[in-house]
């Protein structure tokens, strides 16, 4: 990508991740003089790690959001999922659907980054500076002045903050955007990790580390089901992992943050052939509802198998060894309602996304422009929106980046009434 030729630009995009690159592609089409400042040595590093290297770039069905979900849906009504798909098609990306999720047809996250970069590389008026962490952003008479850690200053008429949230610091996550936005008077809704693994009591899972099994997980507070997901469960030395675990981590974090207890009821029915193997959120059911079916299955097996071999051929060896000596009623309970107290949601280093962020009531969902400052736009994970596992987070990043850019490129809006530091937006 080209280096910046000078420090003056019409549109400055801070952060060359999903939302920032999508925004830059719109600028490329609109012919706006644009500069991306990226903290890391390369743009789009996180994109390469998404979806286990396959990049689940959006859901095929209805988007599911948390935080200010209404704001997220308002943004998606301006730039729809279909428009995001069309955008990627126009960039040359071929896509396919797999279990309700959209991936590049090649199965390579690099394909997504490649098409974004190609568009930007081919636009002479869009420039990129890497290794340029922005540490200060100030309104000035004719727009904005951004300063990097090295002391370099850049001037822009409009700025899009697209530097993401706190999740995955090794891939560019951090607090920088919150600090910049707060310095301009914006409010931070407290952040915490979401879509992360769960730390649990380790005694009940000792010896199971590394085991992957299909299961239905129900998150409980006391005996009350709060949330549930079905999928592949991975036992680890600290607790549990897997997409189904990550799907429950936000609600588990809510419970723990409120000082309430949280535990998992693990139902191995899909492993036993008593329930279909599914990979999705499910309606939380009463824990232990599959105990009778499991008990019947075990009694049937007991008639045909030698004592001591009841679990042979049915369970992975690690799990069979752990449960082997229980009497049938207790075994049926352990196989369909295995309890695991949750201690913590693993931190930002392990999380895929940030819950909380910059308060969305301070952002206009029609334009992504700050309601406090004309000419300042925000997009992506830095806002108080987080999505479910399954492409929802990237969808919001693409759509909000595109909308911010469309507004910044095309807007002749005046600063909103009551703006604290009105900037001329022509």
Ligand X SMILES: Cc1cc2nc3c(=O)[nH]c(=O)nc-3n(C[C@H](O)[C@H](O)[C@H](O)COP(=O)(O)OP(=O)(O)OC[C@H]3O[C@@H](n4cnc5c(N)ncnc54)[C@H](O)[C@@H]3O)c2cc1C
**Which of 352/367 has CB closer to ligand X?**
352
In whole angstroms, the minimum distance from the beta carbon of 15 to ligand X comes to 3
Residues in 126-185 that interact with ligand X by CB under 6 A: 133-134, 162-164, 167-168, 171-172, 174, 176
**Site size with ligand X, rule: CB under 6 A:** 37
Identify the residue whose tokens are 């009463």: 286
Find the binder of ligand X among 15, 63, 193, 214 (CB under 6 A): 15
**Which of 297/378 has CB closer to ligand X?**
378
**Which of 214/357 has CB closer to ligand X?**
357
Decide if residue 399 touches ligand X (CB under 6 A).
no
Find the binder of ligand X among 220, 248, 342, 397 (CB under 6 A): 397
Q: Which two tokens stand for residue 194?
A: 């979401």
**Which of 129/335 has CB closer to ligand X?**
129
User: What are the DSSP calls for 267-336, one per residue?
Assistant: E-HHHHTSS----EE-----TTTTHHHHHHHHHHHHHHS-TT-TTTTTS-HHHHHHHTTS-HHHHHHHHH
Decide if residue 197 touches ligand X (CB under 6 A).
no
Decide if residue 49 touches ligand X (CB under 6 A).
yes
User: What are the DSSP calls for 5-58, one per residue?
Assistant: S-SEEEEEEE--SHHHHHHHHHHHHHT--EEEE-SSSSTTHHHHHGGGGT---E
Decide if residue 56 touches ligand X (CB under 6 A).
yes
Q: Taking a C-beta distance cutoff of 8 angstroms, is the pair 351, 389 a contact?
A: no
Angle, in degrees to the nearest 10, between helices 69-78 and 392-410:
60
Burial annotation 30-48 (CB, 10 A radius, 16+ → b, else e): bebbbbbbbbbeebbbbbe
Which of 168, 109, 55, 118 has the alpha carbon at shortest distance from 395?
A: 55
Parallel, antiparallel or unpaired: strands 101-104 and 95-98: antiparallel
Tell me which stretch binds ligand X (CB under 6 A): 42-50, 221-229, 236-244, 326-334. 42-50
Find the binder of ligand X among 9, 34, 50, 221 (CB under 6 A): 50
**Which of 150/303 has CB closer to ligand X?**
150
Decide if residue 352 touches ligand X (CB under 6 A).
yes
Decide if residue 40 touches ligand X (CB under 6 A).
yes
Give dist(CA 338, CA 330) in Å, integer: 10
Residues in 99-128 that interact with ligand X by CB under 6 A: none
Q: Taking a C-beta distance cutoff of 8 angstroms, is the pair 361, 368 a contact?
A: no
Residue 189, Cβ density class (10 Å: 0-12 exposed, 13-18 middle, ≥19 buried): middle
Decide if residue 380 touches ligand X (CB under 6 A).
yes
**Which of 143/172 has CB closer to ligand X?**
172
Angle, in degrees to the nearest 10, between helices 392-410 and 18-30:
30
Q: C-alpha 39: how far from its chain's center?
A: 20
Decide if residue 291 touches ligand X (CB under 6 A).
no
For 219, residues 6+ apart whose C-beta sits below 8 A from its C-beta are: 225, 226, 227, 228, 248, 251, 252, 255, 262, 263, 264, 284, 342
Q: Which two tokens stand for residue 300?
A: 């049937």
Q: Looking at beta carbons, which residue is closest to ligand X?
A: 17
Find the binder of ligand X among 9, 19, 230, 269 (CB under 6 A): 19
Give dist(CA 31, CA 408) in Å, integer: 12
Find the binder of ligand X among 26, 27, 46, 369 (CB under 6 A): 46
In whole angstroms, the minimum distance from the beta carbon of 7 to ligand X comes to 15
Find the binder of ligand X among 200, 263, 360, 393 (CB under 6 A): 393
Tell me which stretch binds ligand X (CB under 6 A): 34-42, 91-99, 224-232, 331-339. 34-42
Decide if residue 392 touches ligand X (CB under 6 A).
yes
In whole angstroms, the minimum distance from the beta carbon of 130 to ligand X comes to 9
What residues make contact with ligand X under the rule CB under 6 A?
A: 14-20, 37-40, 46, 49-51, 55-56, 133-134, 162-164, 167-168, 171-172, 174, 176, 352-353, 380-381, 391-394, 397
């Amino acid at each position: 990508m080209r280096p910046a030729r000078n420090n003056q630009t019409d549109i400055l995009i801070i952060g060359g991740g999903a939302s920032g690159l999508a925004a830059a592609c719109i600028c490329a089409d609109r012919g706006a003089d644009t500069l991306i400042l990226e903290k890391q040595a390369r743009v789009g590093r996180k994109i390469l790690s998404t979806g286990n290297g396959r990049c689940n770039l959006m859901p095929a069905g209805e988007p599911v959001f948390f935080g200010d979900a209404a704001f997220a849906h308002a943004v998606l009504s301006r730039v729809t999922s279909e428009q995001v798909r069309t955008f990627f098609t126009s960039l040359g990306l071929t896509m396919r659907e797999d279990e309700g999720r959209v991936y590049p047809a090649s199965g390579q996250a690099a394909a997504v980054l490649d098409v974004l970069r190609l568009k930007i590389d081919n636009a002479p008026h869009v420039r990129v500076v890497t290794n340029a962490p922005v540490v200060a952003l100030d309104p000035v008479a004719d727009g904005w002045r951004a300063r990097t850690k090295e002391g370099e200053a850049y001037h822009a008429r409009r700025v899009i903050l697209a530097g993401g949230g706190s999740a995955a610091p090794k891939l560019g996550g951090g607090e920088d955007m919150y600090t910049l936005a707060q310095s301009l008077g914006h409010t931070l809704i407290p952040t915490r990790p979401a879509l992360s693994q769960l730390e649990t009591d380790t005694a009940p899972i000792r010896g199971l580390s590394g085991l992957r099994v299909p299961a239905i997980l129900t998150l409980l507070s006391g005996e009350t089901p709060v949330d549930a997901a079905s999928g592949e469960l991975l036992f680890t030395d600290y607790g549990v992992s897997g997409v189904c675990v990550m799907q429950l981590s936000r609600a588990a974090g809510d419970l723990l943050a409120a000082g309430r207890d949280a535990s998992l009821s693990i139902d191995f029915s899909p492993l036993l052939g008593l329930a279909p193997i599914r990979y999705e959120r499910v309606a939380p059911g009463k824990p232990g509802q599959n105990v009778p079916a499991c008990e019947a299955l075990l009694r049937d097996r007991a008639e045909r198998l030698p004592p001591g071999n009841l679990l042979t051929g049915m369970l992975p060896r690690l799990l069979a060894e752990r449960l082997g000596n229980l009497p049938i009623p207790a075994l049926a309970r352990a196989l369909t309602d295995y309890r695991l107290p949750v201690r913590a949601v693993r931190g930002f280093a392990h999380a895929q996304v940030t819950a909380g962020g910059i308060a969305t009531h301070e952002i206009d969902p029609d334009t992504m422009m700050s309601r406090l400052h004309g000419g300042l736009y925000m997009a992506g994970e830095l806002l108080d929106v987080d999505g479910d596992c399954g492409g929802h987070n990237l969808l919001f990043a693409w759509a909000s980046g595109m909308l911010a850019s469309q507004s910044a490129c095309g807007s002749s809006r005046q600063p909103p009434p009551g703006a604290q530091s009105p900037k001329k937006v022509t």
